[in-house]
Amino acid sequence: MIYALGVIAAMLPMLTLAAEGPSSAPAPYGALPSPAQVRWQQMEFIGFIHFTTNTFTDKEWGFGDESPSVFNPTDFDAEQIVSSFAVAGMKQIVLVCKHHDGFCLWPSKFTDHSVEQSPWKGGKGDVVREISDACRRHKLKFGIYLSPWDRNRADYGSPSYVEYYRNQLRELITTYGPVSEVWHDGANGGDGFYGGAREARKIDPTSYYDWPTTWALIRQLDPNIVIFSDVGPDIRWVGTESGWTGDPCWSTITPVAEEAGRKPSPGVGIKDLWHGTRNGERWMPAETDFSIRPGWFYHASEDGKVKTGPELVSHYFGSAGHGSVMLLNVPPDRRGRVHETDRASLEDLGKRLKAIFAEDLARRAKATGPSRGSAFGPDKLVDGKAGTYWATEDDQTTPSVVLEFRAPVTFNVVRLREYLPLGQRVDDWAVDTWDGSDWVELAKGTAIGSCRLVRAKPVTTTKVRLRVTKSPVCPCLSEMGLFLEPQAP
Ligand code: FUL
């Protein structure tokens, strides 16, 4: 619709009036997420699959000289693999389509160093096809990891390799899409096979890959894809592979290289990945990647070192519960299946998470407190809707809300969520419970973001209070949930 300038001018006062009305939404604060970033953060728990020639050579980093003939799973079962992730409660799987050794899990047009040259299914197999199809059957999103470092390619280090990398990205996104996340790993160990050269090659990670051009290509192929690397642009690495996340862990960061003067790029050490930066320039939430076993790839020697269901629940609280997304790697074994021990842990984890979040007790409460009008009332905290939120007047930056119950409730988990489209607003908060005569502080913390979980001792009470104790602007919170973890540690 095209309006003449005069018409627009005439409409302006109306628009201003509407914006100043008593129940207008608060102004956004600081760096803001894209809709794709919000969708990604809402997944909270996703999975990773590392499976390649390393699985058969018992290595973590293949040198690049592995013969495709070693890749020969005896009983590959994408359904068994993907259902194991789904049963744990994961919402997406990132498949390592090519690791540093260069072997491709799909029959790429751009190389013959792939499943096509392997004995598996007579060279007609396609792991990327089978896993991506199974993801869709299980309603999981599908992401791809394509290692920028390639120890197999003769041209690694020259411009033609960067073209090869982009061709493969395009091929994967257009053949197996929709792809929800693209993962650029930062590792570059230097030495490799490199088409027989067997030497060390050093590239400058700040310039060699020309990331802005690659990212523009991904955006052009599908603007809904979120891009992960040490420095985003959409999702940042959390800085460790321990499965834990900083507290606080801000969704914002101002990327600065650890080495003074260096351009912040994938593969370059970046400051503050663990905590992010309060009021940082960019919205770039953290992804917490770790493995269910010590290694990323399957090793029979690690069959006794698989993390248990209760351990994984603790990781969930310590990563997703700090506003990050938990990315759990489960490596298929030489059969091409998730090992029985790992499967049992995933099933147990799924059961435990389901039991914890089975009922949001806060939905039974009457919520009272100040607000900027009924559209933003405290009832929005307990309505179970992600798209509604409680907000106060602009000058009420440290308000409290009380949830009152007709009959006592017992809970040991609290979940808080900010309404992300208006930015990460709250600094400090506290939760109290009523003991019959006084308020008793149950927990306090810094930062809320997409999901802040408190795991406490069980409390039985008729009143729970949330206090926002420090915030530069009025808070906008979409949820305060209360849950009972039945088998708390
Ligand atoms: C690292 C890689 O070197 C590991 O092998 C693994 O893929 C991990 C997720 O990223 O940088």
221-236 pLDDT per residue, tens? 999 999 999 999 999 9
Given 319, 338, 356, which residue is the final one in a domain? 356
The answer to the question of residue 489 being in a domain is no
Average pLDDT over residues 16-29: 67
Kindly state the tokens that stand for 71.
């890749």
Atom of ligand 1 nearest to the CA of 145: 7
Total domains in the chain come to 2
Residue nearest to atom 6 of ligand 1 (CA): 296
* C-beta 287 within 6 A of ligand 1: no
Q: How far is the CA of 26 from the centre of ligand 1 (A)?
A: 41
The answer to the question of residue 428 being in a domain is yes
Regarding whether 8 and 83 lie in a shared domain, the answer is: no
pLDDT on residue 22: 52
Regarding whether 302 and 440 lie in a shared domain, the answer is: no
Q: How far is the CA of 328 from the centre of ligand 1 (A)?
A: 13
Q: How confident is the model at residue 489 (pLDDT cuts 50, 70, 90)?
A: confident
Q: Decide: 99 and 298 in contact? Cβ < 8 Å.
A: no
Q: How far is the CA of 254 from the centre of ligand 1 (A)?
A: 24
Residue nearest to atom 10 of ligand 1 (CA): 185
CA distance 72 to 125: 10
Q: Decide: 148 and 209 in contact? Cβ < 8 Å.
A: yes
The answer to the question of residue 173 being in a domain is yes
Does the structure show a pLDDT above 80 at 10? no
434-479 pLDDT, tens digit each? 999 999 999 999 999 999 999 999 999 999 999 999 999 999 999 9
Radius of gyration of the chain (CA): 25
Average pLDDT over residues 268-286: 97
Regarding whether 225 and 237 lie in a shared domain, the answer is: yes
Q: How confident is the model at residue 189 (pLDDT cuts 50, 70, 90)?
A: confident
Atom of ligand 1 nearest to the CA of 185: 11
The answer to the question of residue 467 being in a domain is yes
Regarding whether 20 and 48 lie in a shared domain, the answer is: no
Given 327, 356, 385, which residue is the final one in a domain? 356
Does the structure show a pLDDT above 60 at 12? no
* C-beta 296 within 6 A of ligand 1: yes
What is the domain range of residue 371?
A: 2-30+359-483
* C-beta 200 within 6 A of ligand 1: no
Atom of ligand 1 nearest to the CA of 48: 9
Regarding whether 252 and 366 lie in a shared domain, the answer is: no
Does the structure show a pLDDT above 90 at 395? yes
Given 356, 387, 404, which residue is the final one in a domain? 356
* C-beta 187 within 6 A of ligand 1: yes
Ligand 1, pocket-test mutation among 105, 149, 241, most atoms within 8 A of CB? 241
Regarding whether 164 and 132 lie in a shared domain, the answer is: yes
Stated as kind and residue range, the H or E segment containing 327 is strand 325-329
Q: How far is the CA of 458 from the centre of ligand 1 (A)?
A: 39
Kindly state the tokens that stand for 390.
């409680």
The answer to the question of residue 403 being in a domain is yes
The CATH number covering residue 276 comes to: 3.20.20.80
Q: What is the mean pLDDT of the chain?
A: 95
322-370 pLDDT, tens digit each? 999 999 999 999 999 999 999 999 999 999 999 999 999 999 999 999 9
Mention every residue, 6+ apart, whose C-beta is less than 8 A from residue 357: 483
Does the structure show a pLDDT above 50 at 84? yes
The answer to the question of residue 210 being in a domain is yes
Average pLDDT over residues 389-396: 98
Regarding whether 57 and 6 lie in a shared domain, the answer is: no
Residue in the block written with tokens 């794709």: 36
In a 13 Å sphere around the CA of 465, the CA atoms on its Cβ side amount to 17
Alpha-carbon distances, residue 409 vs 238, 400, 401, 453, 461 (angstroms)? 36, 20, 17, 18, 6
How much of the chain, in percent, has pLDDT values that exceed 90? Answer: 94
Residue nearest to atom 4 of ligand 1 (CA): 296
Q: Identify the three-state secondary structure at position 382.
A: helix
Mention every residue, 6+ apart, whose C-beta is less than 8 A from residue 401: 367, 368, 369, 378, 381, 390, 465, 466, 480
Regarding whether 274 and 224 lie in a shared domain, the answer is: yes
Regarding whether 172 and 199 lie in a shared domain, the answer is: yes
The answer to the question of residue 488 being in a domain is no
Per 3-state DSSP, the chain is made up of helix, strand and coil in percentages (nearest 5) of 30, 25, 45
The answer to the question of residue 187 being in a domain is yes
Q: How far is the CA of 332 from the centre of ligand 1 (A)?
A: 16
Mention every residue, 6+ apart, whose C-beta is less than 8 A from residue 374: 23
* C-beta 101 within 6 A of ligand 1: no
Ligand 1, pocket-test mutation among 185, 230, 326, 328, most atoms within 8 A of CB? 185
* C-beta 215 within 6 A of ligand 1: no
The CATH number covering residue 363 comes to: 2.60.120.260
Regarding whether 12 and 25 lie in a shared domain, the answer is: yes
Q: How far is the CA of 187 from the centre of ligand 1 (A)?
A: 7
Regarding whether 266 and 120 lie in a shared domain, the answer is: yes
Regarding whether 387 and 296 lie in a shared domain, the answer is: no
* C-beta 189 within 6 A of ligand 1: no
Query: Roughly how many angstroms between the first and final C-alpha of the chain, as a whole number?
Result: 60
Q: How far is the CA of 96 from the centre of ligand 1 (A)?
A: 10
